[in-house]
């Protein structure tokens, strides 16, 4: 394996976990944060106590608040901001390094435009520049702890995807190449909404059967939207779809699942989000998915019902009862 020079742009939990993992396997990594005070604290403490507490930094990992320094000499950038931060970050990157290959790890649709991450990236990157999404079932803290994980690197360019899979694949972080970036990104976006639904069901004590039904029927919704937007249904049967959905809907480290659990307990959404300390992308992206599905004529009853709960139009209990009481139909 050759040594990659990687700029990780965004020092939340996932960006920090990836930066540390790649640095510990002999890549040259600079981790950038827009917050200079946060950078100084990480430099002094050699950990990211705010977002990934208890995980010491690899001794070679460099932390910086200087965007230019972070990107200088890099041969790939990994954008690790939430979806809301993707556009300003890639716009800034393209201003000086528009030919630098880019990966991103955010999942969702851009709220203002309804675009997927790759659609935002295409507005700024020079023609022919490789780009892609790192997505799949992955809790940051487990990656940081060195526990086994497998994710997808999806790109419109399979040659680019395969090359960077070979470059970045680690003994405990296995990467798989995929050329269906639409399907992969839709999987990453919709699974967060479905995790909220699963959390609501579990929080109300509706049991494992109900959770399995929500996950399975949610996967069908995800696949219908993917096909309508030009993705492939089979992509949703892999890591970026089913794998990520199962993890996020059942794992107690899932922020979106936690939102659902606490909604079921009667807590207010604003209070839940304030207590999280991290972004729960499912809350932000639900409205966009409902809008896009409506425009395309795609039936997504679970997603639409979660939206009704988040906007206060349905109680969590009424929402699950409504879904389970829908008219019988064929399974597709």
Active site residues: 191
Beta bridge partners of 308: none
The three-state DSSP-derived secondary structure of 6-44 is EEEECCCHHHHHHHHHHHHCCCEEEEECCCHHHHHHHHH
DSSP helix/strand/coil, 176: strand
Q: DSSP label at 126?
A: P
Rounded Cα distance between 144 and 56, Å, is 9
Tokens coding 329 = 């139909």
> 136 and 167 in contact (C-beta within 8 Å)?
no
Sheet holding 76-79, edge to edge: 62-64, 28-32, 5-9, 76-79, 102-104, 131-135, 149-154, 173-178
Given a contact cutoff of 8 angstroms between Cβ atoms, the answer to whether 169 and 140 are in contact is: no
Tokens of 167: 């470059």
Tokens coding 115 = 């675009």
């Amino acid at each position: 394996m050759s040594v990659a020079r990687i700029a990780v742009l965004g020092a939340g939990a996932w960006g920090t976990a990836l930066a540390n993992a790649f640095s510990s396997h002999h890549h040259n990594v600079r981790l950038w944060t827009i917050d200079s005070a946060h950078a100084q604290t990480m430099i002094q403490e050699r950990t990211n106590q705010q977002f990934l507490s208890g995980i010491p930094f690899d001794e070679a990992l460099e932390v910086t608040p200087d965007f230019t320094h972070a990107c200088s000499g890099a041969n790939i950038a990994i954008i690790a901001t939430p979806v809301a931060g993707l556009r300003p970050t890639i716009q800034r990157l393209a201003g000086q390094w528009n030919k630098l290959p880019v990966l991103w790890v955010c999942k969702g649709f851009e709220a203002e435009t309804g675009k997927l991450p790759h659609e935002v990236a295409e507005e700024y990157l020079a023609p022919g520049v490789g780009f892609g999404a790192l997505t799949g079932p992955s809790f940051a803290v487990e990656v940081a702890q060195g526990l086994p994980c497998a994710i997808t690197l999806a790109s419109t360019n399979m040659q680019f995807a395969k090359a960077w899979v070979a470059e970045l694949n680690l003994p405990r972080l296995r990467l798989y190449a995929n050329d269906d970036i639409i399907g992969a990104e839709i999987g990453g976006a919709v699974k967060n909404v479905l995790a909220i639904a699963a959390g609501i069901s579990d929080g109300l004590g509706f049991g494992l059967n109900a959770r399995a039904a929500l996950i399975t029927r949610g996967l069908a919704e995800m696949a219908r939207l993917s096909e309508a937007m030009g993705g492939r249904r089979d992509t949703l049967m892999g890591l970026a779809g089913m794998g990520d959905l199962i993890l996020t809907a059942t794992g107690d480290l899932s922020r979106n699942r936690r939102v659902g659990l606490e909604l079921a307990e009667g807590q207010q959404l604003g209070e839940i989000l304030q207590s999280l300390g991290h972004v729960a992308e499912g809350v932000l992206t639900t409205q966009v998915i409902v809008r896009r599905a409506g425009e395309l004529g795609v039936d997504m009853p679970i997603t639409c019902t979660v939206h009704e709960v988040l906007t206060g139009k349905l109680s969590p209990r009424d929402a699950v009862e409504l879904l389970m009481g829908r008219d019988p139909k064929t399974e597709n």
